[in-house]
């Protein structure tokens, strides 16, 4: 687990530094780390990009991204921060590598030869292989850490190619494949709560849990990234990436310890026990009006909604459905993981349903909620479902860390507990084969609804707890 120790000096090379991901997530997270004193004493951030961007333009665009997506910027810390920003313009893969090499060697001269080199690939996954090769060609892989965003491959074959290309030039210990859902505070509580409290440890199996729901509806549309989304769809964007990793967090066997290697092994190896998804247990949808958006093919069959039943073939979970759902332009936005408990054998009957549920809310800074059945006050025996909730932000005075802040800190300090592993990802494609080969027309659903009606049946008898 992360120790919170201040990492060694670092040279952080941000590929795609003026792109959407860098502006929304990476740069604000980096600034938050600086604000919280979690960066190394000495560091340099070198943005790399193809555009003709001057040093001054880059500093300005970082400032703008903090204003748009970051924490409030304090002028004293900003003036310290901006001094360490550099920009290396040029197409790194196609002959334009000179300025980046120069910036890196300047940074090495200033920070010392022991400075940790980190390459963060905030670029479309199609460019991962070329950049990885070019890093090696220019001698930039030795001792470096390389960060890959999800999706790491978009099919079994593209995953294999990427994995081979990466391992040709990097040791596994240098590779940081990140999935920001694993960096969420409440996701980490899935294992911490379970292993720290006997009440939860004891109930974490098929004997006590009737169903698990991992439900991430979003009201958000895709208009501002139509092209990316139309080539990706909900299955790749969310289901086989974020939702599978969260399912693995719930389903894993207890690791020997919560040290990085043990935790990572427990989480990633359980994906090998996910049963290939049966296409009959999947509902794909597309919101009405999607094909009219700019940048979307008029005959697009990309799904903007998916719900699926997943089975985990281990003695602990045999027969317990893991119900996964996500989609765009739905009725509400939530990120919710619920363990629905079985009814006790008696003597009470006709309990309100679903009565006893342990729910983790992954949105925002996260919350843990226990829903239970209790006696309503009064002379009669009236049963009511009620709940108690703990916001992660109320646990301690330390503010919860946004997921990218946590994950970038892990990369800087070499903590691999929350990164994904190639064995886990290799299984993802086997499990998802039936899903990915579904090319039929997705079922239309009205924006603002809960998706196609057929999805409700998948979650019977409880139904989707958030709504349907």
- Cite the active site residues: 242
Minimum distance from residue 445 beta carbon to ligand BG6 (Å):
17
**Residues 223-262 interacting with ligand BG6 (rule: CB under 6 A):** 237
Distance in angstroms (rounded) separating the CA atoms of residues 209 and 224: 40
Q: How many residues does the chain have?
A: 468
Unique residue bearing structure tokens 């958000």: 220
Asked whether the beta carbons of 194 and 204 are under 8 A apart, the reply is: yes
Nearer to ligand BG6 (CB atom), residue 5 or residue 220? 220
Is the CB of 103 or the CB of 410 nearer to ligand BG6? Answer: 410
Tell me how far the alpha carbon of residue 24 is from its chain's centroid: 15
Closer CB to ligand BG6, 237 or 249, in the complex: 237
**Angle 18-230-162 from CA coordinates, rounded to 5°:** 65
Residue among 404, 398, 222, 428 nearest 326 (CA): 222
Name the strand (E) or helix (H) holding 383.
strand 382-391
Which residue's CB is nearer to ligand BG6, number 328 or number 416?
328
* Structure tokens belonging to residue 92: 């790194």
Say whether residue 268 binds ligand BG6 (CB under 6 A): no
CB of 237 to ligand BG6, least distance (A): 5
Angle at Cα 438 formed by Cα 437 and Cα 443, nearest 5°? 165
For residue 424, the minimal CB distance to ligand BG6 (Å) is: 17
Helical H segments across 17-155, by residue range: 20-21, 27-35, 55-69, 75-82, 98-111, 128-137
Strand partners, 217: 327
Q: Which is nearer to ligand BG6, 218 or 268 (CB)?
A: 218
Of residues 70-99, those binding ligand BG6 (CB under 6 A): none
Q: Tell me which residue has its CB nearest to ligand BG6.
A: 237
Residue 216 beta carbon to ligand BG6: minimum distance, rounded to whole angstroms: 7
Rounded to a whole number of angstroms, the minimum distance from the CB of residue 173 to ligand BG6 is: 25
Q: Which pair of structure tokens corresponds to residue 37? A: 């004193």
- Calpha distance 201→386 (Å, rounded): 22
* CB of residue 307 to ligand BG6, shortest distance in Å: 16
For 39, phi then psi, to 5°, come to: -90, 160
Start-to-end CA span in the chain (Å): 38
Q: Which is nearer to ligand BG6, 68 or 110 (CB)?
A: 68
- H helices of 394-463, where? 403-413, 422-436, 454-458
35 binds ligand BG6 (CB under 6 A): no
Burial of 464 (0-12, 13-18, 19+ CB in 10 A): buried
Task: Give the number of residues in contact with ligand BG6, rule: CB under 6 A.
Answer: 3
Q: Which residue has the tokens 């001269």?
A: 109
Task: Report the helix count and the strand count for the chain, using DSSP H and E.
Answer: 16, 15
Shortest distance (Å) from residue 218 CB to ligand BG6: 6
User: Which lies closer to ligand BG6 via its Cβ, residue 7 or residue 151?
Assistant: 151
**218 near ligand BG6, judged by CB under 6 A:** yes
Contact positions toward ligand BG6, by CB under 6 A? 218, 220, 237
């Amino acid at each position: 687990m992360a120790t919170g120790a201040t990492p060694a000096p670092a040279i952080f090379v941000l590929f795609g530094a003026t792109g959407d991901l860098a502006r929304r997530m990476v740069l604000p997270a980096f600034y938050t780390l600086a604000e919280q004193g979690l960066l190394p004493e000495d560091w340099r951030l070198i943005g790399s990009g193809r555009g003709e961007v001057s040093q001054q333009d880059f500093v300005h665009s970082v400032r703008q991204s903090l204003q748009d997506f970051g924490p409030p910027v304090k002028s004293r810390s900003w003036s310290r921060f901006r001094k360490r920003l550099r920009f290396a313009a040029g197409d790194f893969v196609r002959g334009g590598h000179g300025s980046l090499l120069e910036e890196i060697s300047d940074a090495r001269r200033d920070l010392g030869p022991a400075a940790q080199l980190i390459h963060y690939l905030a670029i479309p996954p199609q460019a991962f292989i070329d950049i990885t090769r070019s890093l090696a060609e220019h001698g930039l892989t030795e001792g470096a850490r390389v960060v890959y965003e999800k999706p790491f491959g978009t099919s079994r074959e593209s995953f294999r190619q990427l994995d081979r290309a990466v391992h040709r030039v990097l040791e596994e210990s240098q590779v940081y494949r990140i999935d920001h859902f694993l960096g969420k505070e409440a996701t980490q509580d899935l294992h911490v709560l379970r292993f720290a409290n006997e009440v939860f440890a004891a109930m974490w199996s098929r004997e006590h849990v009737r169903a698990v729901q991992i439900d991430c509806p979003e009201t958000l549309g895709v208009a501002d990234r139509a092209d990316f989304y139309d080539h990706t769809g909900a299955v790749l964007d969310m289901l086989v990436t974020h939702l599978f990793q969260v399912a693995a967090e719930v389903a894993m066997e207890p690791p020997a310890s919560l040290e990085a290697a043990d935790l990572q092994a427990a989480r990633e190896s359980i994906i090998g026990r996910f049963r290939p998804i049966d296409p009959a247990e999947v509902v794909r949808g597309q919101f009405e009006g999607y094909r009219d958006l700019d940048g979307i093919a008029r005959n697009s069959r990309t799904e903007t909604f998916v719900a699926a039943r997943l089975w985990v073939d281990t003695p602990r979970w045999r027969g317990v459905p893991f119900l996964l759902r996500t989609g765009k332009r739905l009725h509400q936005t939530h990120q919710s993981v619920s363990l629905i408990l079985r009814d006790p054998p008696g003597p009470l009957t006709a309990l309100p349903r679903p009565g006893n549920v342990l729910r983790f809310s992954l949105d925002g800074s996260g919350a843990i909620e226990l829903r239970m059945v209790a006696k309503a006050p009064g002379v009669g025996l009236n049963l009511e479902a009620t709940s108690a909730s703990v916001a992660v932000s109320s646990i301690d005075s330390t503010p919860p860390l946004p997921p990218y802040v946590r994950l970038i800190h892990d990369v800087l300090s070499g903590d691999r507990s929350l990164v994904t592993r190639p064995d886990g990802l290799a299984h993802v494609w086997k499990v998802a084969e039936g899903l990915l080969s579904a090319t039929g027309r997705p079922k239309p659903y009205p924006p603002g609804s809960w998706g196609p009606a057929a999805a409700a049946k998948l979650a019977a008898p409880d139904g989707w707890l958030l709504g349907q």
